[in-house]
Amino acid sequence: MATSTNTKSALRPRREEDFPEWYQQVIRAAELAEPSEVRGCMVIRPWGYGVWENMQRQLDAMFRATGHRNAYFPLFIPLSYFEKEAEHVEGFAKECAVVTHSRLEADADGKLKPASALTEPLVVRPTSETIIGASYAKWVQSYRDLPILINQWANVVRWEMRPRLFLRTTEFLWQEGHTVHETEAEARAEAKLILDLYERFVREHLAIPVFTGEKSESERFPGAVQTLSIEAMVQDRKAIQAGTSHFLGQNFARASGIQFQNREGKQEFGWTTSWGMTTRLIGTLVMMHGDDDGIVLPPRIAPTQIVILPIMPKEETRAAVLEACDKLAEGLGEARYVDLPIAVEIDRREIGGGVKNWEWIKKGVPLRIEIGPRDLEKRSVEISRRDQPVKEKQPMQMKEFIVRAPEILTSIQQNLYDRAKKFADANTRVIGSKDEFYDFFTPKNAAKPEIHGGFALAHWNGSREVEEQIKNDLKVTIRVIPLGDSEPGRCIFTGEASQRRVVWAKSY
């Protein structure tokens, strides 16, 4: 995967020394986010939120292109709504935050306390199937009202005991799509459409290769008939679930009363789906593309794609250097990358050039451009690509760079994907026996126990008991059951018949 760009790297510890701590240091150094005063929650800083905004804009355009539209539904959900779908509430019960009172009043000691108990407790949105279903039940009367294709961008709360920035926080941001269809086939096609959309977005925009497929029964979304998922392998060889799409059958339609008159004039329950991606994707980016100097951002989602760094050792050259920077930024502003204006920033701060340069390295901006008095004489610039060693620079005529900038950004985007794909392929293994499977997931080096494993493709008989045994023994779970053509064989754990190999891994 990404190699260290500097023998004296910006971050300590390095990835191979302590991957979890390295991850926290990257987020801090890149100014992506920080822990908040509320336990389990985070403050997403402007640079991190800029990454999320780009993801949001680009995903939203893909949703709209497939006929979906945005709406917004309440943050608070009556407890009785959850009770209508037993499997769903059981799956989320331990993660729910519940509002039981309104108003604050001061007691005799002047301390504030809740004053008025609510008639019915309100659950702070962990997911919205039940509250959205209540609206859909009013909107849907006839098959002519279908399909309903709606998405919302929102925050959710799931009480988290072991928080980790972006990967697991009590409150996080996401999008959640909720659709209703006339037939089972249409709903299943919708769930697959979104799975493919997620896979394309993560691969083309975030430069992350993924495995796609169906979750096992034990890993399904509570109340779903089928859960589809994309799974990414990050640099410690663990999996991150990067997006899910659920076929809900008629379970939630029955619970919410979503009925319509079908083409034969009979009453029928709707067929529903739900699907989502979260700010967990930012954590996935860090773990996928980061190095020992900070994050490395793919150009398509970087808030700033090119930063121009004026080099002004003497006051008398300051005006000329800044003028050249402005002209370069103006020229780049007229160029386009993936059919959008290139995002350019001039760092005019009066701080040391070395400090300034390292700040942008840590933030992972794809291209750093230095312009100093000597460059003015040559009408050239010094180019540094974030996907290459930090000390590596390439001189180029200014006019040529303006023309070639989109090509260079495209090259960086592709290089990051190719590098990640090579790493994933190198750490994915077809495994044919139980002993080999256990060896694959068992650390051999006590000093570096995280350097082992990866994704294992192995036959499984479909037994939940086998699945639980492997989880208990190795903390390894089935990440996805691949869709499409299968290769029958024998379960490596029991010797029984198996329809296909499934993807196993340790995960976040």
Per-residue pLDDT tens for 382-394?
A: 999 999 998 999 9
Both tokens of residue 158?
């799931």
Give strand pairing partners of 42. Answer: 35
Return d(Cα 368, Cα 383) in angstroms, integer: 6
Phi and psi at residue 369, in whole multiples of 5°?
A: -120, 120
The residue written with tokens 């993936």 in the block is 338
Both tokens of residue 301?
């989602």
- CA 468 to chain centroid: 27
Average pLDDT over residues 237-251: 97
Return d(Cα 322, Cα 348) in angstroms, integer: 8
Q: Do 221 and 85 form a contact (C-beta atoms < 8 A)?
A: no
Q: Which pLDDT band holds residue 120 (cuts at 50, 70, 90)?
A: very high
**Secondary structure class of 386 (helix, strand, coil):** coil
Residue 400, pLDDT > 50, answer: yes
Return the CATH class of domain 299-412. Answer: alpha beta
pLDDT digits (tens, 9 = 90+) for 275-298: 999 999 999 999 999 999 999 999
In the chain, residues under CATH classification 3.40.50.800 are 299-412
> Which of 273, 270, 271, 272 has its CA nearest to residue 140?
270
Quote the pLDDT of residue 5: 46
Alpha-carbon separation of residue 22 from 17, 27, 219, 255 (angstroms): 8, 9, 29, 45
Quote the pLDDT of residue 352: 83
Residue 317, pLDDT > 70, answer: yes
Residue 2, pLDDT > 60, answer: no
pLDDT digits (tens, 9 = 90+) for 459-500: 999 999 999 999 999 999 999 999 988 899 999 999 999 999
What DSSP letter does each residue of 226-287 carry, written as one string?
Answer: EEEEEEEE-TTS-EEEEEEEEEEETHHHHHHT-EEE-TTS-EEE-EEEEEEEETHHHHHHHH
pLDDT digits (tens, 9 = 90+) for 201-220: 999 999 999 999 999 999 99
- Cis peptide, bond prior to residue 13, ω within 30 of zero: yes
In the chain, residues under CATH classification 3.30.930.10 are 19-289
What DSSP letter does each residue of 93-121 carry, written as one string?
Answer: GGG-EEEEEEEEEE-TTS-EEEEEEEEEE
> Which of 227, 217, 220, 223 has its CA nearest to residue 195?
227
Quote the pLDDT of residue 450: 54
**Secondary structure class of 301 (helix, strand, coil):** helix
Residue 3, pLDDT > 60, answer: no
* Contacts for 472 with CB less than 8 Å, ≥ 6 apart: none
Percent of residues, the chain, with pLDDT higher than 90: 88
pLDDT digits (tens, 9 = 90+) for 15-72: 999 999 999 999 999 999 999 999 899 999 999 999 999 999 999 999 999 999 999 9
Residue 86, pLDDT > 80, answer: no
Residue 87, pLDDT > 80, answer: no
Residue 315, pLDDT > 90, answer: no
Task: Give CA angle at 38 (36, 42), nearest 5°.
Answer: 35
What DSSP letter does each residue of 72-100 carry, written as one string?
Answer: ---SEEEHHHHHTSHHHHHHHGGG-EEEE
Q: Do 172 and 278 form a contact (C-beta atoms < 8 A)?
A: yes
Q: H or E element: which one contains 459?
A: strand 455-459
Average model confidence (pLDDT) for the chain? 94
Average pLDDT over residues 346-373: 94
Return d(Cα 280, Cα 507) in angstroms, integer: 13
In the chain, residues under CATH classification 3.30.110.30 are 428-505
Helical segments of 335-397, H only: 353-363, 373-378
CATH topology for 19-289 is BirA Bifunctional Protein; domain 2 (3.30.930)
Residue 85, pLDDT > 80, answer: no
Both tokens of residue 386?
């974030």
Return d(Cα 278, Cα 175) in angstroms, integer: 7
What CATH number is given for 428-505 in this structure? 3.30.110.30
Return d(Cα 200, Cα 196) in angstroms, integer: 6
Other Cβ atoms less than 10 A from the Cβ of 326: the count is 14
